[in-house]
Amino acid sequence: MQSQIFTYVLLAGLAIALLWVIVTDLKSRTISNHLTLTVAAGAPLYWLAIGLPLWPGIAWQLGLATLVFAVCCALFAMRQMGGGDVKLLTALALWVPPSQFTMLVVAMAMLGWVLTMAVGAWRVAHSTTIQTHPARDTIFLIIGTIIAALFASAVLGGPRLPLPAALTSTSLNSPAAIVALALAPIAVLLLVTLGSIRIIRRHERDLWVPYGPAISLAGLWIVASGQMLAGTASPAGG
């Protein structure tokens, strides 16, 4: 019982740290090294609380963190990721079971996409770039953000918009209609994404992707799902 309470306390602490990352990164575009080290240092306590065995449990967590660090370092070298983001995701890899880490990455990608568009809309709304139309472009970006959020919600198991019954019944009788129905969302999302990037870059030279908040929100999503209470980090995820 005490071990379970300790686990809840540690996960609550992790959630608070991730929330603080969101606040500081959105405010200053930096992630404190002390905060990242705190997240990493809490992982061994979490392993102890859930009774994670040295083999294969802790070994898998360390291996996952090493792999994540290597991949993120490559992205950092290509200037696709910040140093603070690399350290944060590596520290989080020490906590999240390998069986759940793929979902963490998917959630990070989805949430990062939505946040990029939302932050872009905010910055464009306050744009002072000459020969542009901030009000009009902001409306377009808000619409794009809503579309992206609906898609992300559907992918992550949240609320989704139901398809009209007439449309689904028609598509079931035609292979071509089934293919068109499957490809339509992809075409819309591609159009929305490319259009949004072009609008944002019309006002700002650099497109800021808020990796820190995206990583933190994805981590919070995994914590809230209850999967980290399972007490396992083996590939089987049992």
What is d(CA 209, CA 178) in angstroms, rounded to the nearest whole number?
34
Q: Comparing 189 with 96, which gets the higher pLDDT? A: 96
- pLDDT at residue number 182: 62
Q: Is 130 exposed, middle or buried (0-12, 13-18, 19+ CB in 10 A)?
A: exposed
What is d(CA 95, CA 46) in angstroms, rounded to the nearest whole number?
7
Give the pLDDT band (50/70/90) at residue 30: confident
Give the pLDDT band (50/70/90) at residue 175: low
Highest mean pLDDT among 16-25, 115-124, 143-152, 177-186: 16-25
Structure tokens at 27: 């405010």
**pLDDT tens per residue, range 114-154:** 888 888 888 888 777 766 778 888 888 898 888 888 888 87
Give the pLDDT band (50/70/90) at residue 233: very low
